[in-house]
């Protein structure tokens, strides 16, 4: 079986619709065909300041959300990144193989650092994509399901794998991004030309899966559209409507063409009202499930411990091989 690895940060109070449709939905589907490794990337989360208590809570909450969205711990290794020390260990090795200029070209770093100011942005934020490369390469992943915003980081991962293999002998599988075109980028409801994002979206542009469903419904109903009437998918001229159709289609498995046909002769109001209902029907049982996982933290922690054990079996083998290639003396 081919391998898959992906991760999500335990930041924010909830996953948002972009995280789910862009990434986690694919994680769930890939369990049927691939050997899957999924992690809550707490090492990545601390690249910006975190309150320790909140971080601990959100790490569990992220795992609970993944389980509620359909990650099956019997089929996938579901774990917390810091429970597998090999991530940080391989991260260091790869940092030493990464050019400073190469890392400086990462647009996500540039965006985030410019918002924080270069003095406040951490060195960890700068090396974030290299740690991400370690996450992926440790599992010899063939495919990495992510949203469009991660494409450049995946490219860096591939470069690092190829460089290491060439210099020191074949050690890592060179992974492919797995980016599903239709839902690769979910847009902010108030600004449908920028991506829905925890850190950058305004409250009304962001649908958080754990917020009050009534609030989500209201946000959908007040989503920015255009002055037209016709419900057709036109990403260029009708970005807001196109975004709503993308979300609607993904949540119902009705194709965009079917939706266009169903809303012929109706207006944006009908589309929004119906999508709001679809969303409420999706998040209501999800929230109940998350709550039930959070009610049994001991069991949740056991699931994560089991996942980390499975992950370490693979990760430790890869790290040992990489250390050997580098020329580290094995401990006797």
Known binding positions for ATP: 9-11, 18-19, 147-149, 186, 195-199
**272 included as an active-site residue:** no
What is the distance between the alpha carbons of residues 12 and 223, in angstroms, rounded to a whole number?
22
User: Is the CB of 147 or the CB of 213 nearer to ligand AQP?
Assistant: 147
Interface with ligand AQP (CB under 6 A), residue from 4, 5, 23, 315: 23
Catalytic residue among 1, 110, 112, 273: 112
195 catalytic residue (yes or no): yes
> Does 149 sit near ligand AQP (CB under 6 A)?
yes
The position carrying tokens 């046909």 is 261
Q: Which of residues 308-327 bind ligand AQP (CB under 6 A)?
A: none
Interior CA angle at 309 toward 305 and 313, to 5°?
A: 165
* 152 lies in the site for ligand AQP, by CB under 6 A: no
| φ, ψ of residue 226 in degrees (nearest 5) | -120, -175
Q: Which CB sits closer to ligand AQP, 139 or 164?
A: 139
* The only residue of 77, 137, 196, 210 in contact with ligand AQP, by rule CB under 6 A: 196
Nearer residue to ligand AQP within complex by CB, 107 or 292: 107
Q: How far is the CB of 223 from ligand AQP (least distance, A)?
A: 14
For residue 22, state whether it binds ligand AQP (rule: CB under 6 A): yes
Binder of ligand AQP out of 14, 19, 243, 246 (CB under 6 A):
19
The reply to whether 221 sits near ligand AQP by the rule CB under 6 A is no
Number of chain positions touching ligand AQP (CB under 6 A): 21
Select 137 or 319, whichever has its Cβ closest to ligand AQP.
137
Question: What is the closest distance, in whole angstroms, from the C-beta atom of residue 68 to ligand AQP in the complex?
Answer: 16
Q: How many CA atoms lie within 13 A of 206 on its CB side?
A: 17
- C-beta of 23 vs 239, nearer to ligand AQP: 23
Q: What are phi and psi of 295, to 5 degrees?
A: -75, -20
**Distance, CA of 244 to CA of 188 (rounded, Å):** 10
Active-site residue set: 112, 195, 198
Sites of contact with ligand AQP (CB under 6 A): 8-9, 11, 16, 18-19, 22-23, 146-147, 149-150, 184-186, 195-200
């Amino acid at each position: 079986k081919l391998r898959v690895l992906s991760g999500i940060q335990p930041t924010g109070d909830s996953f948002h619709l972009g995280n789910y449709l862009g990434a986690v939905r694919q994680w769930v589907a890939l369990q049927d065909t691939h050997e899957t490794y999924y992690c809550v990337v707490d090492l990545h989360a601390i690249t910006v300041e975190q309150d320790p208590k909140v971080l601990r809570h959100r790490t569990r909450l992220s795992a609970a959300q993944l389980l509620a969205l359909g990650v099956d711990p019997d089929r996938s290794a579901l774990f917390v990144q810091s429970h597998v020390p090999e991530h940080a260990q391989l991260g260091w090795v790869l940092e030493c193989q990464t050019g400073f200029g190469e890392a400086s070209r990462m647009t996500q770093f540039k965006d985030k650092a410019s918002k924080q100011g270069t003095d406040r942005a951490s060195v960890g934020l700068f090396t974030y994509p290299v740690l991400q490369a370690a996450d992926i390469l440790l599992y010899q992943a063939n495919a990495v399901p992510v949203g469009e915003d991660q494409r450049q980081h995946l490219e860096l991962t591939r470069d690092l794998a190829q460089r290491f293999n060439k210099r020191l002998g074949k050690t890592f599988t060179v992974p492919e991004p797995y980016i599903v075109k239709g839902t690769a980028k979910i847009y902010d409801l108030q600004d449908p030309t920028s991506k829905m994002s925890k850190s950058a979206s305004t409250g009304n542009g962001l649908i958080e899966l754990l917020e009050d469903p009534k609030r989500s419904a209201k946000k959908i109903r007040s989503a920015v559209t255009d002055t037209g009437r016709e419900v057709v998918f036109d990403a260029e001229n009708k970005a807001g409507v196109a975004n709503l159709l993308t979300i609607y289609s993904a949540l119902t498995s009705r194709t965009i063409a079917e939706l266009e046909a169903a809303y012929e002769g109706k207006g944006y109001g009908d589309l929004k009202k119906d999508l709001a209902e679809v969303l409420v029907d999706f998040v209501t049982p999800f929230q109940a499930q998350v709550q039930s996982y959070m009610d049994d933290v001991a069991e949740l922690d056991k699931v994560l411990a089991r996942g980390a054990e499975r992950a370490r079996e693979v990760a430790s083998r890869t790290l040992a091989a990489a250390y050997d290639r580098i020329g580290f003396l094995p401990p006797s």
